[in-house]
Structure 1
Amino acid sequence: MNRMRSRLAVGIVAAAATTTLLTGCLGQPAGGTADGETSLVAVNNGEIGRITGAQNPGSQIAMALCEPLTGIEEDGTVFMRGAESVESEDQITWTVTVADGHTFSDGTEITAQTYVDTFNFVGAGANAMPSNYAYGPIKGYDELNPAEGEPTATEFSGITLIDESTFTIEMKSPNNDVPYILSQLAFCPMPESAFADPIAYDKKPIGNGVYTLEKLDPQVEAVLKKDPDYQGWVPDGAADEITFRVYTDTNTAYQDVVAGNADVLRSLPPGLIAQGRNALGEEGLTAIDRNTLQTYFTWPTYLDATFPIEVRQAFSMIVDRASISTDLFKDATVPAPSLMPNSVSAFREDACGQYCTFDPDAAKDLIAKSGFTGTIPLNYSSENTTDAATALAVSNSAKEIGLTVEPKPVPAAALSETINSYALDGPVIQLWGSSFPAPSEWVASVYVDANYRLQYEDPEGQALVAQALAAATPEEADELWQQAEDRILADQVIQPLYQQVMYIAHTACMTPHAAGGDMQIYRTEVTCS
């Protein structure tokens, strides 16, 4: 399954209060340049070590430089970008027709051969490309990336060039997520010149997207300009120039947005949201209405004998999710009623049912029924103040019914090692984020042991996942995803806690936009001239 590994939740960043109020456009950088073109300065969180590939400080830059085969609308649906069509009759073999007239920024024509060459290069483990993992579902990946020994192939057996504008992708098994998968940075085309020296290419890639990279100082900034020759989709109100300014401290970045020295800060930490409301007002703080980050309690199955299902059910029912989101985190989170966030089509408001409902009396009865009299250690990253606050709230709630929940902070590296070694002594707080807004990212991921290390197996649930991935229509697929979700929730191996609301801090001349809940800076609409 194409997944990034699970990540521990981001912490709250403390910041000094500020009283500055933005009441209108502040001139440059908020929307204007000396020659009348529009511009914006965006916060880049961390040094720009590389640009291509996903999940690195250069990812937001890469999105502006790349036109993938498909794109994601704000509502999470797929639309065609570099592809004219992506179609399949059996969900296994997908035919991709490449759109005519699209080129790299250096004028090199993009054809089906371009994508075939790129996929074979990135998918070959010997080339050590950071996005290699995303090609795992394609037939022939294992031969290119053997667990042991040398590769037995040099190209994907599942990728076939048909003609100048057409190629096919054969998956290992039916997978109707392919249109979503092809929207990822991992599948951005590369010109032939990149293969000879991918490291150099990573410093100044020749893209095929809305923008070109004009300047890169990894510790200071990257400057992008709109490509006048680009023939594809351009976001409404896209700036003519974007400067990604490097910040290593979120508080400093936030203060610069408040002062008008920077225009967009993506994903404001929870600890700054209340201040942002006061400092920036309604025109300068935008909540993305679809969520892509969700926090859970996870219970590896090797703990079942210690904590029987009644204990796990009771634990979930003493968690006051509404109070945690409203009172503790000031609406920076919303209670999670499902394994899936609201950005996914199969999301249901009541999927978790009674066990995600705060009910101390019912929880007390369940504990009595189980006969449990011990302590529940609640593991979390000691570097994470958000998780610390959550663990304390749960511990205090447990005391009300005579249950002992002991918050257990563990250094992040040690906690990761404990999880990976199947050595937890109790539940752990974990964060999950999606690569694209599809149910598979949230339901199928639970069955992939490398993600949560739950050692969880359910043949009937896994069969439902396979059926969902092979379903002919989205409606049929969603029903199957929900059935699989019901089985996982019934087994109480993973319990939804809350979805993290992404808040964007920005100057008044900027309107942020997202792709299915994932805010992408280059899609920011400049509303002042």
Structure 2
Amino acid sequence: MTRLVRPARWGAAALAALLASTACGGTGGGGRGDSAAPDGSYSVALTEPDHLTPGNTTSSYSIDVLNGVFDTLVTLDPADGHPVMQAAQSVTSTDQRTWTVRLRPGQTFQNGEKVTARSFVDAWNAAAYGPNGWANNYYFANVEGYKELNPEDGGPAPRTKALSGLRAVDDLTFTVRLTAPFSPFPMTLAYTGFAPLPRAAFTDPRKFDVHPIGNGPFAMDGDWQHNQRITLKKYAGYRGPRPAKGAGVVFRIYASKDTAWTDFQAGRVDLVLNVPPAHLPQARRLLGDRLRGTPSGTMDYLGFPVYDKRFADPRLRKAFSMAIDRRAVVDAVFNGAYQPMASLLAPNVPGYRKDACGEACTYDPAKAKQLLAQAGGFHGPLELWFSNADSSYEQWMTAVANQLRQNLGIDRVAFRKVPASDYLSALSGRKETGPYRNNWVMDYPSAQDYLEYMWGDGNRMGWHNQRFLDLLKRANSAPGLDAATPLYQQAEDIALAELPMAPLWNWTDYSAWSERLRGVRPDPYASLRLDQITVK
């Protein structure tokens, strides 16, 4: 056995000095000149969402808003992530394949329309219908009839717009027939992509996207003011299990989290969901118990466009991964707040293994250079893609770029910084021309949520492995977690061996709030429970 000697690590102080000269500041779009939100409301710093139609966004910034406007069928218990009924009264099955959903009676949308079984069936069909191009389309891939709504490229247009596996039985009951048994199904229904839609969402989709009408404890108070604010008010007609305790919420939209932090310090915003890591030492000194770090299911990865022949060789992708000193970047950019990762799963997900990645995620510049040479080297300029939502994205990409220059001899490196509202559509359209920042915010605590939606069919990397897909199918059909976990782990091993996307680090979410607020309780499964917060 060849013994690998770990080379000297980049010093955190030296890396921090390098990053200091390249940090980007950005400008804020919200919180100008006005203090905390009036009339018993409170304000929250937010990055510009891409959409506010539940079936058409996977952005965490959108979901922070939609969690207040919509009630999903279930929510996740903050202690262990098990499903708790919300808009549903029950979700049951005798075979894990055909599910019956019974709704809680008396629910209405914020325009007075009744919430019925058709509200869910129509919303799910709209997301699953391929020509609509909605972001959450693939979440319905295990419902019977999905393939008929999503023909292969060049195939004929769908002859139907409805999933054959969905059926409204009566006003309060609908059934879901899956392509195979899937025991985690109730847990998935906590995701906002499964929220119901009123008729208005289909009569004028563009208007609905800037003024969604939901069934949750808060209603829109005016239209979404792009790059400025989104205002919510308490919905007086709400009859669900989580009535709003506060009068309303003003989401102030910022292009930079650093600017949001500055406004928080000045009293112009009440709640910051992600304190920039550079400001954590100051926040710890000043805020005491009004700063809370929550172990997170959020992960950062470096994705590779494997459809580009320059990145097709797994040895090259492994070389890139082994040339990155994750600990040095975490210490310098994130003040040690995040955890370097050698797994595709977050630590709070059943089936997580601390060192699943092994050598491929170990910092070893000498081995990395050797692997790159074996793969034929890298030719042409290297473009690194990321969004402009947070200055730390550019900072860690700068650190990675310099490590690739130093450790692999790639001297022509350029950045492609994309507006946050356009970034996900660019990746989904496979427009990236080089490695890119990929981030995953856990929808529910299951290995399936990570592996299938990021590495499964239609993934952003253009990667395909049939054995991986077969293992996922078997794991999804397993009768329970004990039987499914080893199969998910075998699938993870395949993805790590080919490494179309390399794990980097796991987040700890640090929230900070003003003295005005009470009841701020972030948990691993919901960064923001709007209904629980009150104003002093």
Q: Normalization by structure 1: what TM-score?
A: 0.78
Matches of 1:181 and 1:306, distance apart in 2: 33
| Structure 2: runs of 5 or more not aligned | 1-21, 28-34
Query: Which protein, 1 or 2, shows the higher relative CO under an 8 Å CA cutoff with sep ≥ 6?
Result: 1
Q: State yes or no: 1:289 paired with 2:284.
A: no
Deviation at 1:419, TM superposition (A): 9.6
1:183-216 deviation digits (Å, cap 9, x = unpaired)? 2323222234544334444444432111223334
Residue 243 (structure 1) aligned with residue 245 (structure 2): no
User: Residue 231 of structure 1 aligns to which amino acid in structure 2?
Assistant: R
Please tell me whether residue 179 in structure 1 is matched to residue 179 in structure 2: no
Which piece of structure 1 moves more, 237-246 or 73-82? Answer: 237-246
Alignment equivalent of 1:300, drawn from 294, 306, 310: 306
Q: Corresponding residue for 2:158?
A: 151
Establish whether residue 41 from structure 1 lines up as the match of residue 66 from structure 2.
no
How far residue 336 of structure 1 moved from its aligned partner, in angstroms, is 0.9
Q: Which residue of 2 aligns with 1:233?
A: 241
Deviations 1:314-347 (A, max 9, x none): 6544433222212343124320120112242222
Q: 2:438 is paired with a residue of what secondary structure? A: strand
Q: Partner of 1:336 in structure 2? A: 341
Select which of 60, 66, 72 maps to 2:70: 66
Deviates more, 1:247-256 or 1:510-519: 510-519
Residues 116-170 of structure 1 show CA distances to partners (whole Å, capped at 9, x for unaligned) of 3443455445667665554343222343444544431142211112334321112
Alignment: residue pair count? 489
SS, match of residue 476 in structure 2: helix
Q: Which residue of 1 aligns with 2:32?
A: none
Alignment partner, residue 57 of structure 2: 54
Q: Deviations over 1:218-274 (max 9, x none)?
A: 255443233344232328x84232222344454432222112221112334444445
Cα distance in 1 between the residues matched to 2:200 and 2:374: 67
1:102–1:109 contact (8 Å) kept in structure 2:
yes
Pick closer, same or farther for the CA change 1:94–1:479 going to 2, 3 Å.
same
Range that drifts further, 508-517 or 413-422: 413-422
Q: Deviations over 1:474-522 (max 9, x none)?
A: 2222221112112222334433222243333322435644464441262
Among 90, 99, 123, the alignment partner of 1:94 is: 99
* Structure 1 alignment gaps of length 5 or more: 1-10, 17-27
1:386 and 2:395 are equivalent in the alignment: yes
- Please give the alpha-carbon distance, in whole angstroms, between the structure 1 residues aligned to 2:404 and 2:329: 12
Aligned equivalents of 2:400, 2:200: Cα separation in 1: 52
Q: 1:81 to 1:308 in 2, by over 3 A?
A: closer
| Paired residues for 1:10-29 under 5 Å | 13-14=24-25, 29=36
C-alpha distance in 2, partners of 1:49/1:396? 37
Alpha-carbon distance change, 334 to 406 in structure 1, aligned in 2, over 3 angstroms: farther
Measured on the aligned residues, the alpha-carbon RMSD in Å equals 4.0
Q: Distance in 2 between matches of 1:250 and 1:421?
A: 26
Of 452, 456, 461, the residue aligned with 1:444 is: 452
* Equivalent-residue separation in structure 2 for 1:222 and 1:511 (angstroms): 21
Distance 1:67 1:228 in 2: 15
Q: Kindly report which structure 2 residues correspond to 1:175-214, keeping only aligned pairs within 5 A, or say none.
A: 175-214=182-221
384-393 vs 181-190, greater mean Cα deviation: 384-393
| Contact 2:45/2:273, CA 8 A, preserved across alignment | yes
1:84 deviates by: 1.9
User: TM-score scaled to structure 2, two decimals?
Assistant: 0.77
Assess if the C-alpha contact under 8 Å between 2:463 and 2:500 holds in 1. no
2: distance between equivalents of 1:492 and 1:128?
Answer: 28
The structure-2 alpha-carbon separation of the partners of 1:320 and 1:419, relative to structure 1 and needing over 3 Å to count, comes to farther
Q: 1:215 aligns with which of 200, 211, 222?
A: 222
| Paired position in structure 1 for 2:8 | none
Change (3 A) 1:299 1:435: same
1:455 correspondence with 2:463: yes
Indicate if the aligned counterparts of 2:42 and 2:250 stay in contact, CA closer than 8 A. yes
Distance in structure 1 (CA, Å) of the matches to 2:309 and 2:302: 17
